[in-house]
Structure 1
Amino acid sequence: MISIELIRKNPNIVRASLLKRGENLTILEDIIKKDEEYRSVLKKLENLRHERNVASKAVAELKAKGEKFSKEVKKVNKINDEIKKLEGVTKSIKEEINEKLLWIPNIVHEDVPEEEDKVIKEWGEIPKFKFEPKGHYEILSKLGADFERASKVSGARFSYISDKLVILEMALARFAIDFMVKKGFKVFMTPHMVRSKAMYGTGHFPRGIEEAYKIEKEDLVLIGTSEVSLASYHSGEILQNLPLRYSGFTPCYRTEAGAHGRDTKGMFRTHQFHKIEQFIFCREEESWKEHELLRENVEEFYKVLGLPYRVVIVNSKDMGNAASKQYDLEVWFPSQNVYREVVSCSNTLDYQARRLNIKYMEKGKKKYVHTLNSTLVAIERTITAIAENYQTEDGHIKVPPTLVPYTGFGEI
């Protein structure tokens, strides 16, 4: 959440950021007007409280002298009624401001491009095949993935996998967990469902509410990423021994409401998938260094898998609501002759911590922590990349060498 103090002191910073994201300024201007109204009413309230103190003191003095004080008591009662009324008004205005603040995205970092993603790095050799490379749907359909029966049972964007593909998925997950442990991250398996306040707290609600699956008649939402459950783990706490580096392994669920008609076949964009996430709580001055650490981890991981990739700084219009700056790592897909996003890596500054009320102590003062998140590996999506980049002419898949000790076989 953007602080109201920033809007009061530097509204043009917020205006410029919203415009860079392609947003209109209506909600911001509403907040500014409401905040002016709030402070005006608050000033009246403070004046009334002062009047009440003066009047109450007068009543006490008359009592001490044994004189009549009924007139003064009536005055105090009248002031109390007015105070009670204005307290209700200030509470209502403040709630309205806070609701509107939930719709304001994070301030865009100065490095973020406005129109198109900025490529900052490429790694690996693009594979050259002596045959026409197939897409992952065709490859996996013949090796243990059944998309047609999944569609019959669950609809589009689901899959059954079997046999060696299951082992490959487990191997990739276990390799990723071992990778995180070696990097010093504390590994979690978190709840798959959270209360709506966790979604609001991480900036996934109210924007993005259409992307989530909600449990009917329950205040529970299926997570689309363990970022939500990991960030909320310390809600309302004052943290010590920062930075705290966590990793979560969970299934994830997304409606893909914004991807209508895209990638409806196969395993690239599904309603249900498994993901291993990185998440960091740190001090304000550490957050940009930690952002680079997350990116370095991801790059090392995909280098070890031998998948050609590039890293981009995501443009301001496509960047996540909570992110101030976001890297995407995109892996090469031979059948499409294009790089496609498999990882998002974001610094949200204190945006989530303000919503979740997570702080740390510095020189005797409480400050909001900074939070950062990054995919390490989205399992199913990465398997589609492995299938395409390691495919053979006869329709099989070579297992990346680093995964062979986990699978026990070198080809599917």
Structure 2
Amino acid sequence: MEVGSELANLLKNNSSDNNIEKLKIQSSLLKENIKKLKVPFWSAEEAAIVEALKLPNVLHPKTPSQKNKVLFTYKTVSDNDKDHLKIGKDNNLIQFTNKENYYLKGDAAVFELGAKFYFSKSLKDTGFIQFSNPDFVKSLIIEGCGHDHTDPNHTFIIHHNEDSKVNVDNRLHLTGGGSLFSFFAYYTKNVLHSNALPLKYFSMGRQYNPVDNEEIGLFNVSQSSVISMFIATKNIEECDAILDETIEVIKNIYSNIGYPYRLSIVTAEKLHMWESLRVSIEMYSTSLKSYIEIGNISVSGDFISKRLMFNYTHEKQNKYPHIISGTILNVPMFLGCVLEQNTEFSIPQEFTVNNWCFKQ
């Protein structure tokens, strides 16, 4: 800058100073050096950004550090040694080929449909809007949501023919329409007006997740029928207020069915890197002798919104929505726990065909 300014002043004054030629040569050398430094500088910048993107979200003040905090418990858990897989096979309710391929039959199939339609109606009654999502998303969305898009243990990656050259940063991933990725596939690089917020959506679809556990059972399946939700709010205060409202909605939906369950805030070490808080919806599994998560509500704040450039305008300023999301019902996990209850398996009244079938 100094060389350029000095040279400009000399030329402006029509000076015949010998320094002009020297400054011109010096300026050319500097430009050439800068040009050579751009490539390593860009590489260093890219490496720094990649590492920065691995930093986890800031913890919510309510996230416990030592052990899960139980928020609510409904009824006492069953005390028996039932195994859902044995019950399912004995009653011709479940047929497993492998963990990727299984079938719900008879009353179990009606249970799956009834549960989804019951949750769907309950959410609509409380102001949620049903949303239709894609089953496939690009690598950009996976990374933006805080997952490793190159890791086959995180998502199912669609592979191309061996002969074709593929950019590993631009592939398709099978995630299912009931995933957070699918919601953000729609809202990435999207700008809303502040009057549009808050958004309260839910999706009824599938989730596809690679599973490491080789054990066969409804607790270890790669594809699940789910009800997922997506809420976008203006700021932290609105986010916390709607989180409390959503927890009450979930309590009412589950309590109305009648099965024992509890709500817990999980510790920081159990959170995904994009989460600041997670409320776990849990039921007790008598075969595992522990509580398992059949659903969840996650708070990510503006962490993902910033990464995927989802923003809204307010008083001529761009701001980032604070997000609440979650799989509020995972049908296979839910059904597995229900089969292990003390009583004989039967379809809850809320799930019966008369409540959701199309009537002429």
Q: Does 1:303 align with 2:258?
A: no
- Structure 2 residue corresponding to 1:246, chosen from 187, 192, 201: 201
- Corresponding residue for residue 271 of structure 1: 222
Describe the shift of the 1:51–1:185 C-alpha distance in structure 2 as closer, same or farther (beyond 3 A): farther
Query: How far apart, in 1, do the equivalents of 2:299 and 2:351 lie?
Result: 30
Return the letter of the residue paired with 2:187.
Answer: H
**Structure 2: segments with no counterpart, 5+ residues:** 161-165
- Corresponding residue for residue 141 of structure 1: 89
- Corresponding residue for residue 355 of structure 2: 406
Query: How far apart, in 2, do the equivalents of 1:143 and 1:85 lie?
Result: 72
Shifted more, 192-201 versus 356-365: the winner is: 356-365
Do 2:296 and 2:327's aligned partners in 1 also have CA atoms closer than 8 Å? Answer: yes
Shifted more, 338-347 versus 322-331: the winner is: 338-347
- Corresponding residue for residue 348 of structure 1: 300
How far the C-alpha of 1:209 sits from its partner, in A, is 5.3
Query: How far apart, in 2, do the equivalents of 1:360 and 1:211 lie?
Result: 30
- Structure 1 residue corresponding to 2:329, chosen from 354, 372, 377: 377
Query: How far apart, in 2, do the equivalents of 1:335 and 1:400 lie?
Result: 22
Return the letter of the residue paired with 1:200.
Answer: E
- Structure 2 residue corresponding to 1:233, chosen from 186, 195, 198: 186
Q: Structure with the greater relative contact order (CA < 8 A, sep ≥ 6): 1 or 2? A: 2
Query: How far apart, in 1, do the equivalents of 2:256 and 2:7 lie?
Result: 75
Query: How far apart, in 2, do the equivalents of 1:89 and 1:57 lie?
Result: 30
Shifted more, 156-165 versus 296-305: the winner is: 156-165
Query: How far apart, in 2, do the equivalents of 1:85 and 1:92 lie?
Result: 12
Describe the shift of the 1:52–1:391 C-alpha distance in structure 2 as closer, same or farther (beyond 3 A): farther
3-state SS of paired residue (2:147): coil
How far the C-alpha of 1:273 sits from its partner, in A, is 0.9
**Structure 1: segments with no counterpart, 5+ residues:** 1-49
Return the letter of the residue paired with 1:345.
Answer: I
Aligned residues: CA RMSD:
2.6
Query: How far apart, in 2, do the equivalents of 1:55 and 1:210 lie?
Result: 59
- Corresponding residue for residue 163 of structure 2: none
3-state SS of paired residue (1:274): strand
Q: Does 1:168 align with 2:111?
A: yes
- Corresponding residue for residue 326 of structure 1: 278
3-state SS of paired residue (1:301): helix
Describe the shift of the 1:56–1:96 C-alpha distance in structure 2 as closer, same or farther (beyond 3 A): farther
How far the C-alpha of 1:65 sits from its partner, in A, is 6.4
3-state SS of paired residue (1:98): helix
How far the C-alpha of 1:145 sits from its partner, in A, is 3.6
More strand by share: 2
Q: How does 1:155-304 map to 2 (within 5 A)?
A: 156=99, 158-205=101-148, 210-217=153-160, 219-223=171-175, 225-240=178-193, 241-257=196-212, 260=213, 264-285=215-236, 286-304=238-256
Query: How far apart, in 2, do the equivalents of 1:315 and 1:174 lie?
Result: 32
Describe the shift of the 1:59–1:183 C-alpha distance in structure 2 as closer, same or farther (beyond 3 A): farther
Query: How far apart, in 2, do the equivalents of 1:293 and 1:94 lie?
Result: 42
Return the letter of the residue paired with 1:275.
Answer: V
Query: How far apart, in 1, do the equivalents of 2:331 and 2:342 lie?
Result: 16
3-state SS of paired residue (1:266): coil
- Corresponding residue for residue 70 of structure 2: 119
How far the C-alpha of 1:334 sits from its partner, in A, is 4.4
Do 1:157 and 1:265's aligned partners in 2 also have CA atoms closer than 8 Å? Answer: no
How far the C-alpha of 1:328 sits from its partner, in A, is 0.6
Query: How far apart, in 2, do the equivalents of 1:359 and 1:180 lie?
Result: 25
More helix by share: 1
Query: How far apart, in 2, do the equivalents of 1:113 and 1:386 lie?
Result: 29
Query: How far apart, in 2, do the equivalents of 1:293 and 1:165 lie?
Result: 31
Return the letter of the residue paired with 1:159.
Answer: Y
3-state SS of paired residue (1:80): helix
Identical positions, percent:
21
Please report the TM-score for the alignment, with normalisation by the length of structure 2.
0.85
Please report the TM-score for the alignment, with normalisation by the length of structure 1.
0.75
Describe the shift of the 1:58–1:71 C-alpha distance in structure 2 as closer, same or farther (beyond 3 A): farther
